[in-house]
């Protein structure tokens, strides 16, 4: 496929990365509420799990994600994400949000496919706050031990640390939602996402 910079330099793609409880879903919801389209990596996994007749839980999703990456390659999800992004661009969308970029392999493929068009924003939150948030979340709450286990699993098995380490921007999500939203706006204004 031709990289997007060769087609249209006005395309802006934003991906939020971070460990569980860092605010990725909140950031994505902030932008989808402004009517920016999103491509959801997890939706691709959920669809494949439904097709395989597997009940969707956090544990089954982890196992399935790792298993399908072993069977079909580390680029299983990202190949489908790339297609969805191209479809959105083909439909006239110039601002797209990626929801669920995890792995180093995914990061490298997306940066290569969309050179100069993709910005990665890492959301960084103190661990004690992430543990509080994850314990209180209504869907799939987690204990402190489960948070630790998930961090290790995602860093070791899903290469999640790489995209966080090389992100283009860092947002410290340790304050209130107004400050969080302002930091998102500042980063997106800097790359002219809101143009």
Evaluate whether 10 touches 119 at the Cβ level (below 8 Å): no
Q: How far apart are CA 167 and CA 181, in angstroms?
A: 18
Of 101, 116, 91, nearest to 11 by C-alpha is 116
The 10s digit of each residue's pLDDT in 68-78 is 888 888 788 89
The 10s digit of each residue's pLDDT in 91-119 is 999 999 999 898 898 999 999 999 999 99
Q: Kind of pairing, strands 12-17 and 169-172? A: unpaired
User: With 70 as the cut, is the pLDDT of residue 2 above it?
Assistant: no
Q: How confident is the model at residue 152 (pLDDT cuts 50, 70, 90)?
A: very high
Q: How many Cα atoms are found within 13 Å in the side-chain-facing hemisphere of 162?
A: 13
In this prediction the pTM is 0.87
Q: How far apart are CA 183 and CA 126, in angstroms?
A: 17
Q: What pLDDT is attached to residue 1?
A: 45
Structural domains of the chain, with CATH: 4-189 (3.40.50.300)
User: With 90 as the cut, is the pLDDT of residue 35 above it?
Assistant: yes
Of 178, 190, 167, nearest to 18 by C-alpha is 167
Query: Phi and psi dihedrals of 44, rounded to 5?
Result: -70, -40
């Amino acid at each position: 496929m031709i990289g997007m910079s060769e087609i249209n330099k006005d395309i802006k793609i934003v991906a939020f990365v971070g460990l569980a409880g860092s605010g990725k879903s909140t950031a994505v919801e902030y932008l989808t509420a402004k009517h920016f389209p999103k491509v959801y990596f997890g939706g691709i996994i959920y669809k494949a799990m439904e097709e395989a007749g597997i009940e969707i839980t956090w544990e089954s999703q982890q196992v399935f994600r790792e298993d399908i990456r072993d069977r079909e390659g580390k680029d299983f999800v990202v190949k489908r994400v790339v297609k969805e992004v191209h479809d959105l661009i083909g439909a006239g969308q110039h601002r797209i949000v990626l929801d669920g970029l995890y792995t180093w392999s995914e990061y490298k493929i997306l940066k290569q496919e969309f050179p100069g068009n993709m910005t990665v924003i890492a959301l960084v939150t103190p661990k004690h706050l992430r543990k509080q948030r994850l314990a209180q979340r209504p869907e799939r709450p987690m204990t402190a031990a489960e948070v630790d286990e998930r961090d290790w699993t995602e860093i070791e098995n899903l290469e999640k640390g790489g995209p966080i380490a090389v992100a283009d921007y860092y947002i410290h999500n340790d304050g209130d939602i107004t400050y969080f939203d302002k930091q998102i706006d500042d980063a997106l204004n800097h790359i002219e996402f809101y143009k």
